[in-house]
Amino acid sequence: MISFCCPSRGRPELAKRLIDTATETQKGDTEFLFYLNDDDEKLEQYKDLLDEKHYTIGPNQSTCYSWNLMAEEASHDIVMLMGDDVQVQTQDWDQLIADEFLRYQDRILMVVPSDGRTKGNKKHSDETTLWPDKPLPAAHFAVHKNWINTLGYLAPAFFWHWHVDTYTQKVARKLNRCLYLPTVTFKAKKIIDDNAGKQIRKNLNINYRDNFVWEKVKDRHLQADVLALKEKINQPL
């Protein structure tokens, strides 16, 4: 039903936890696609914990490269951009997400589950809604392969790590196709001694680079993506 695309480094126990919480609550058959680094000192632990069909091993590349490579390998029509720190907390979550795509014949839709921070927050509705305005504080999302094939990527390939969710949400909101789904919770919990995450957050070169790229692409390139998806929406079925 749904393919998870997820880079992971130095956190094999979290990758296993993601698989466990998703499979324990799924209705269908989730495909798990992890991108692992060949220089990861915990690579053998990943191999011990994960089925070989769940991972690809390659050089340490950008996070966006990893997401996009896994998206190309996905066999299901709905693809989720994921982080390995997520715990799936909703029964039949996959069916709930898939049902939303079925409401749109063209399948051009971005579905954003709750990450737990929006529930009970007066700024956010507790009801499923097409999100019209400010970005949602949720980094994980689902799109259909129609979206990926139209744009040529799951994660905007010009970014290294940051701004992917912000960019994609902004594109979806301009189409009125950014769906906030608070009935599904993908809880991301802070990890103690998270060395892999700290390396990304403290790498100012990546941060500055992606901030620079965001300023360059947020208008013209973003609008080109909006127009391409609008054309797909308007195509006769």
Contact 161, 65 (CB under 8 A): no
Average pLDDT score, the chain: 88
Residue-wise pLDDT tens digits, 200-212: 555 557 778 778 8
The CATH architecture assigned to 2-234 reads: Alpha-Beta Complex (3.90)
pLDDT value at 197 more than 70:
no
pLDDT of residue 136: 77
- Distance, in Å, from the CA atom of 45 to the CA atom of 43, rounded to the nearest integer, reads 5
3-state secondary structure (DSSP) of residue 225 = helix
E-only strand ranges, the chain:
2-7, 31-37, 55-58, 78-81, 86-88, 110-114, 129-130, 141-144, 178-188
The predicted model gives 208-221 an average pLDDT of: 81
E-only strand ranges, 109-227:
110-114, 129-130, 141-144, 178-188
- Distance, in Å, from the CA atom of 52 to the CA atom of 56, rounded to the nearest integer, reads 8
Task: Considering only residues 157 and 135, tell me which one the structure prediction assigns the higher pLDDT.
Answer: 157
Residue-wise pLDDT tens digits, 103-142: 999 999 999 999 876 554 545 556 788 876 677 767 899 9
Lowest mean pLDDT among 16-20, 118-122, 127-131, 149-153: 118-122
Q: Which residue, among 141, 235, 227, has the nearest Cα to 179 in the 3D structure?
A: 141
| Share above pLDDT 70 across residues of the chain, in percent, rounded to a whole number | 88
Q: How many helices (H) and strands (E) does the chain have?
A: 9, 9
Token pair of 52 as six digits = 């070989």
Task: Considering only residues 59 and 214, tell me which one the structure prediction assigns the higher pLDDT.
Answer: 59
Domain ranges of the chain: 2-234
Reported confidence tier of residue 192, pLDDT bands at 50, 70, 90: very low
Place of tokens 């998270």: 194
